[in-house]
Amino acid sequence: MYAERVAGLKSSAIREILKITARPEVISFAGGLPAPELFPVKDISDAAQKLFLKYGSTVLQYSITEGILPLREKIASGFHSDTGTIGADNVLITQGSQQGLDLLSKLFIDKGSVIFTENPSYLGALQSFQLFRGDIVPIASDENGIRPNDLLERLRRKRPALLYLMPNFQNPSGSSLSLERRRKLIEIVSSHDLIVIEDDPYGELLFKGERLPSLFALGGSRNFIYMSSFSKTVAPGLRVAYVLADEEIISKLVIIKQGTDLQTNTIGQYLVDEYLESGKYFTHIENLRKMYALRRDCMLSAMKRHFPEAVTWNCPSGGMFLWVKLPEGEDARRLLDRCLRRNVAFVPGQEFFPDGSGENTIRLNFSNASIEKIEEGIGRMGEVMRETFL
């Protein structure tokens, strides 16, 4: 009765964990949620009032599939992200980046198409690629991102329809692609003429140092498609994100989007545009960076005090996630069962590995819990770890 493509579909394990963590007594490091107390509620509500005065009923009307022009112009000029030199015709506004992934999957993936990803990678992207029956091939990755030599090795045997990467503070591990690897990757991509999706919802959340240039800015729109979102920088409920690409790719995505939802919600786009226009975005981002860095530092310090010595972790310089490694042979899912009994939750890292490895890894979100909850939750996790494998 159902289409072939839905035969192997299963609900993501993360969604199942998130159902449990909705209980108020649970301290959750499981979701990927921004901090709601830091949403710019007052400024967004001021922007709403202003835009109704300014545009009236236009804000409630259908608008074009590409997205409203003032917002596309701001994005093209690098207002929100590191975009290189492009025009409004290189921009498509999408209903969240998740829709960008869906549209790009529809454009590039046939049954059996090969998609190279980092290992681990973002679950929402994997789900989208799988829905279109892509064959996901994970490439070895470490704290500096995907390993160029492993990519080259794979390319000797397979030609992918897509290479999907998150170069900044990736979900789940928080790692970033080093500048040296970015350069090497550009060489490999252009010599093999690959299509790369650069998914960058966390790049703006940089805690210190210089922002590394995007692959799109370095390598250009022949081989690179860039995506970012206002979900993590302003608010996810707006569902406003964008794809930057070559005009031909954008025009095909526009046709696909017409068949999907006609357009991204008009009011959300105007709200984001008016908020950017107000200039308050920049102070908001500064504040977010400061607050998230504080939470990351608090989590690092609590882990140092509470976790057994055999447990290790990284220190991402931005984003929303930390990556923890349990001793070899330990199972993070078993630890999760015990932690849930103590009302603290996280996501076992194995969920994010297309090759099923990473049994002893954990993703911890630090953006969504208060300093007090981080201290309490990490303390509880430390106790359970000591009971479980010491």
Ligand X SMILES: Cc1ncc(COP(=O)(O)O)c(C=O)c1O
Residues that bind ligand X (CB under 6 A): 32, 96-98, 122, 124, 166, 171, 199, 201, 229, 231, 236, 241
**Cβ 116 to ligand X, closest distance in Å?**
16
**What does the DSSP assignment read for 306-343?**
HS-TT-EE---SBSSEEEEEPPTT--HHHHHHHHHHTT
- Residue placing its CB nearer to ligand X in the complex, 169 or 270: 169
- Which secondary structure element, helix H or strand E, spans residue 123, and what is its range? helix 123-131
- Residue placing its CB nearer to ligand X in the complex, 17 or 326: 17
H helices of 132-192, in order, are 148-157, 179-192
Residue nearest to ligand X as judged by C-beta position: 96
Sheet hosting strand 361-365, strand order edge to edge: 312-313, 321-325, 361-365, 347-348
CB-neighbour burial class of residue 81 (10 A; exposed 0-12, middle 13-18, buried 19+): buried
The DSSP 8-state label assigned to residue 33 in this structure reads: P
Query: Going by DSSP bridges, is the β-strand pair 344-345/135-142 parallel, antiparallel, or unpaired?
Result: unpaired
d(CA 196, CA 217): 13
**Cβ 97 to ligand X, closest distance in Å?**
3
Tell me the one-letter amino acid at 352: F
Query: Going by DSSP bridges, is the β-strand pair 27-28/344-345 parallel, antiparallel, or unpaired?
Result: parallel
- Residue placing its CB nearer to ligand X in the complex, 171 or 263: 171
**Cβ 257 to ligand X, closest distance in Å?**
14
Decide if 167 contacts 211 (C-beta within 8 A): no
**Cβ 201 to ligand X, closest distance in Å?**
5
**Cβ 135 to ligand X, closest distance in Å?**
21
**Cβ 166 to ligand X, closest distance in Å?**
5
**Cβ 165 to ligand X, closest distance in Å?**
10
- Residue placing its CB nearer to ligand X in the complex, 96 or 145: 96
d(CA 119, CA 49): 45
- Residue placing its CB nearer to ligand X in the complex, 11 or 57: 11
- Residue placing its CB nearer to ligand X in the complex, 100 or 307: 100
- Residue placing its CB nearer to ligand X in the complex, 34 or 307: 34
How many angstroms from the chain centroid is the CA of residue 198?
10
